[in-house]
Amino acid sequence: MTDSNHSQSSHTKTTSRRSFLDALFGVTLLGWLGAMIYPVFRFLVPPKRPDLNVSSLDAGLVASFKKNTSKIMRFGRKPVIIVRKKSGDFKALSATCTHLDCNVQFKQDTEQIWCACHNGLYDLEGRNISGPPPRPLTQFQVNLKDEKIFITKGEGV
């Protein structure tokens, strides 16, 4: 009797131990599944700026861009200066002075690009016309589409 009792208790002990093991295994398995699925799920959620725009830069609405003003924007790694002439036409040039890499600015009175660092002057075609700049500024293409301004690289990448 005692013997059978003993074996029964040991039996229940092992079964309980086994069911505990099973439960723990189940929980861990679920945890593992979670650890695998969570990153994948987060990966699938599109990031805030899902569009990777490298070939063109959206410079906003034409209407909101006043005549005879300019603004500097990032295009890829480099700053670009976008100018709206008095005539209403747009021009986009690299905003990095070819002399010592200062950022250039638009001179409203003469419609020229000016670098404050050493008084370098460029015209709106980017040509260096006076001062120390050794090279012209790179031109970018401006395309107007649906009342919006888009800047693209001048020549093929």
Partner 1 sequence: MMHFNFIRPLLLVLLISFFIPRLSAQEPAEIIPPTDACYECHIDMDLDQDEVNQLFTHYLNDIHFQRGLLCSDCHGGDPEAFDEEDDAMWENDTYLGEISPNGEIAMCGKCHSDPAFMRKYSVSVSTDQESQYWTSKHGQSLKEGNLKVATCTDCHGVHGILAVDNPNSSVYDSNVPKTCSMCHSSESYMKGILETTSQYDDYVKSVHGKALLEREEISAPACNDCHGNHGAAPPEVSSINEICGSCHAQNRDLFQKSHLASVFKKEGLPQCESCHGNHYIVKPSDDFLNWESASGAVCLKCHEDGGKAKLLADQLFHVIDSLKINLDSAKVLIEKAEIKGMEISDLYFELEDAHNALIHSRTSVHSFDSTFVRSTAQPGFVASNNAKIGAKKALEEFEFRRFGLFVASFIITLLVILLYLKVKVFEKMKEKEKKNEKI
Partner 2 sequence: MSINDWLQERFDIEAVKSFAAKKQVPVFFGSVWYYLGGVSLFLFIIQVLTGILLALYYQPGAATSYESVKFIVSKVEFGWLMREIHSWSANLFVFTIFLHMFTVFFSKAYKKPRELTWLSGMMLLLLAMVFGFSGYLLPWNELAYFATKVGTDITGAVPFIGEFLSKLLRAGDDVSGATLTRFYSIHTAILPLVFIVFLGLHLTMIQVQGMHIPESMEKVPENKRKMMPFFPNFVLRDLIVWLIVLNIIALLAVFFPWELGLKADSLASAPAGIRPEWYFMFMFQTLKLLPAHILFIEGEVFGILLFGLGGAIWFLVPFLEKPKYSRLWTAFGVGILAYIITLTVWGYLV
Interacting residues toward partner 1 by CB under 8 A: 18, 21, 24-25, 28-29, 31-32, 35, 74, 77, 79, 99, 102-103, 116-119, 131-134
Q: Which two tokens stand for residue 88?
A: 């209403």
- Measured from the CB of residue 54, what is the shortest distance to partner 2 in angstroms? 5
Q: Which two tokens stand for residue 139?
A: 């031109």
- Measured from the CB of residue 44, what is the shortest distance to partner 2 in angstroms? 7
Please say whether the dihedral angle defined by the alpha carbons of residues 65, 68, 74 and 76, taken in this order, is positive or negative: positive
SS (H, E, C) 69-100: EEEEEEECCEEEEEEECCCCCEEEEECECCCC
Distance CA(123)–CA(112), nearest Å, equals 5
Q: What angle do CA 149, 134, 151 make, to 5 degrees?
A: 10
Q: What residue 66 binds from partner 2, partner 1, none (CB within 5 to 8 A, per partner kind)?
A: none
Q: What residue 129 binds from partner 2, partner 1, none (CB within 5 to 8 A, per partner kind)?
A: none
- Measured from the CB of residue 115, what is the shortest distance to partner 2 in angstroms? 27
Residues forming contacts to partner 2 in the complex (CB under 8 A) are: 39-40, 42-45, 47-49, 52, 54-55, 157
Q: What residue 45 binds from partner 1, partner 2, none (CB within 5 to 8 A, per partner kind)?
A: partner 2
